[in-house]
Amino acid sequence: MTLSPIRKIYQGIADRRQMFRMFDRHAQRPNRWQGDDGALYRGEWFEIGEAEHDYMFEILPPLFMRGEMFAMREFLTGSITSIFFTLRIDGRIRHFHGYCDLADKGSPERMRAAIVERETRPVRAMTREERLEHIWSSTHDNYRGYAGERWPEPMRGQRTVMLYGGAEGTFLKLLEQLTASEIAAKLPVQLRVLPDSIAA
């Protein structure tokens, strides 16, 4: 699975249930407790509500606070932890969660800049990668997973989602191989009509 360094993984504002679910959206990965899986999480971000932001602030004393951001004291894996942002974008106060690698100096500031750049685009377009990440984030665990031993060797470990094939019934397909029509069918109606965005 190849993931870009900083990426939006959910469209819209995550409520508390969605937020906690996305904190570990790779929980089903094979060999979960072996090796460093930091690359799966590093750079992921999504928007949350003010109540969710404040709730997380009150759980534990922050590891650090810098202006419009604070870091969780507990680390997810290695040197990766949750950073919560309160940002004024287009005149509105908005809240975000992102996973930053604190061993990488300047990681929180780069995350902040990427969020602001992404959210101030004049048109709320979505890249193909953002569409796929939203599908992965919003699909229930029972309908997503990872290619196992029944898949050809090069595909094993890649993300899969369940699709409905009409008369064919349901079947698994690699997330990265979804067609434009399959992506549209898996997205909520309000996201199907957004224009494509050219990735920078």
Question: Is residue 19 located within the same domain as residue 76?
Answer: yes
Element (H or E) spanning 128, and its range?
helix 128-138
Question: Is residue 56 located within the same domain as residue 134?
Answer: no
Here the tokens at position 143 are 């309908």
146 found inside a domain: yes
74 found inside a domain: yes
In whole angstroms, what is the distance from residue 128 CA to residue 42 CA?
19
Mean predicted lDDT score pLDDT of the chain: 83
pLDDT band at 192 (very low <50, low <70, confident <90, very high): low
- pLDDT value of position 33: 58
pLDDT band at 34 (very low <50, low <70, confident <90, very high): low
Question: Is residue 60 located within the same domain as residue 133?
Answer: no
Q: Determine the structural domain holding residue 160 and report its residue range.
A: 128-192
Most confident of 1-5, 45-49, 153-157: 45-49
Percent of the chain exceeding pLDDT 90 equals 26
Work out how many domains the chain is built from and give that number.
2
- pLDDT value of position 15: 92
Please provide the DSSP assignment of 25-78 as one string. TTTT-TTTTSS--HHHHTTEEEEE-HHHHHHHHHHS--SEEETTEEEEEEEEET
Question: Is residue 134 located within the same domain as residue 188?
Answer: yes
Domain boundary among 119, 142, 166: 119
pLDDT band at 122 (very low <50, low <70, confident <90, very high): low
**What pTM did the predictor assign?**
0.80
Question: Is residue 62 located within the same domain as residue 13?
Answer: yes
Question: Is residue 27 located within the same domain as residue 107?
Answer: yes
In whole angstroms, what is the distance from residue 188 CA to residue 138 CA?
10
Domain boundary among 69, 88, 119: 119
Q: What is the pLDDT of residues 99-110, one digit of tens each?
A: 999 888 889 999
Domain boundary among 119, 138, 159: 119
In whole angstroms, what is the distance from residue 46 CA to residue 23 CA?
10
- pLDDT value of position 3: 52
- pLDDT value of position 127: 83
